[in-house]
Structure 1
């Protein structure tokens, strides 16, 4: 135990007084079940995990939900201290610091109306169709750059599911857990079905704005997150959101898409 705690204590000791005393302002968009708001209360499996880790580190956080494009702009301009559930991408290291430990794994899959089925086994099968997407998201070059089909953004994930149910789009693309959560929440389980094709998959992270002391904070966050994952409380948190068993994720995933 002493061997494990010593590196963590050294990391915490290396945090500047400013980093320990300040309140972090962290943003993300509505991304249930990872992070969302219900009856004025923030919830979500990644939100709960990050909140617990920062509580253990003695770091206070102010949370905000806003459109994803605005999240990216504000963290790039240094107006906020971090962003929740973001992918690693080339070009972001200049203004973001990532803990080594990812929070969760995203799998982008397609959803269709059960009454209007399509046979989709690979991306080329989307030819001539309209696929609902989210502003500011990219889903990998094979999907985002294809000229074979139309991509139609909607302001929210819920709006995309509504458009799909009404026949205004042919399919929608979102994370598997997000899709299953919203399909159940919107009582669409009998009207909307998930397709097996995985368009892209990525580990998602908490990322901190690149400021003095943040490298040490990111390292301490990773250490404490790894420790938390070994505890029954972590498994209980996953089960609370009905996400199934936790599968460890690695950072050696492809990095061509972004949340």
Structure 2
């Protein structure tokens, strides 16, 4: 009796065996990184413990697939550098950029934040006449070093500060007309640490006509099972997709 083997069947079998299934990620360990500065309530360190929404999400998704992980909080630039080198398999809370996409696979988004700006009321007593993001180009705009502000669509963002505290200090000292932020992060810093940046001299405004910024996890392209991990994370992250975050 002859055994008939069709070419298309060989191709299917080879492709199936060549790719690891999501279940094959079981009993693996991941090194995950996040930004250690000013990303409350999504990632932060309190009493020497990593806390926040990102950790809650990871603890919800990964253990059920028997995947363990360690979570390193570092500077965002170090997190990205480690991901590009393959030292970290996953970086959390990232916005999209073409440059990052050269080195990482993006998961689906799982929360969204509101793009905003802060200014000194003593300098602009009647506020700023901002009808869309591009109007901010008329001012000296500052942000945090290493952060992705491409969605703001500005020609220049001065990024010398390394934390929200330094950024606010630059604003108060008149080194910037405006600083960029996200409404949820400013509220998170107040809620968790009791630090209220919106006081007698500073005001915050939402940027008109700008969609909320969607955040993703990024998977290092150096990771052997990057495609399978993306599929697994995408399935788990979809439940969190809500514009109310």
TM-score over 0.5 for the pair: yes
CA deviation string 1:108-159 (max 9, x = no partner): 210123333341314565466432201122322764424xxx6242011222
Q: Deviation per CA, 1:93-120: give whole Å up to 9, x if none.
A: 4432223x31211332101233333413
Aligned 1:6-25 pairs, distance under 5 A: 14-15=21-22, 17=24, 19-25=25-31
Work out the CA distance in 2 between the residues paired with 1:125 and 1:216: 42
Q: d(CA) in 2 for partners of 1:183 and 1:171?
A: 20
With normalisation by structure 1, the TM-score equals 0.71
Q: Distance between the aligned counterparts of 2:190 and 2:198, measured in 1?
A: 6
1:39 Cα offset (Å): 1.7
* Structure 2 CA distance for aligned equivalents of residues 132 and 200 of structure 1: 20
> How do 1:95-114 and structure 2 match up within 5 A?
95-99=103-107, 101-114=108-121
In the other structure, the counterpart of 2:147 is: 137
3-state DSSP of counterpart to 2:62: helix
Q: Shift of residue 180 of structure 1?
A: 2.4
The separation in 2 between residues aligned to 1:70 and 1:138, in whole angstroms, is 15
Q: Is the 8 A contact 1:140 1:200 kept in 2?
A: no
Give, in angstroms, the shift of residue 59 of structure 1.
Answer: 1.4
Give the direction of change, closer, same or farther, for the CA distance of 1:81–1:145 in structure 2 (3 Å limit). same
Equivalent in the alignment of 1:235: none
Q: Which runs of 5+ in 1 are unaligned?
A: 1-12, 231-245, 250-259
Match of 1:215 in 2: 227
Which of residues 159, 179, 199 in structure 1 aligns to 2:166? 159
Rg comparison, structure with higher value: 2
Matches of 1:116 and 1:179 in 2, distance apart?
Answer: 21
2:16 match: none
1:218-239 deviations in Å (ceiling 9; x for gaps): 212222333x549xxxxxxxxx
RMSD: 2.9
Note the 1:72-111 alignment, pairs <5 A.
72-99=80-107, 101-111=108-118
Q: CA deviation at 1:200?
A: 6.4
The 1:38/1:82 distance shift into structure 2, 3 A limit, reads same
For structure 2, which runs of at least 5 residues remain unmatched after alignment? 1-19
For residue 59 of structure 2, give the secondary structure of its aligned residue in structure 1: helix
Give the secondary structure class of the aligned counterpart of 2:112. strand
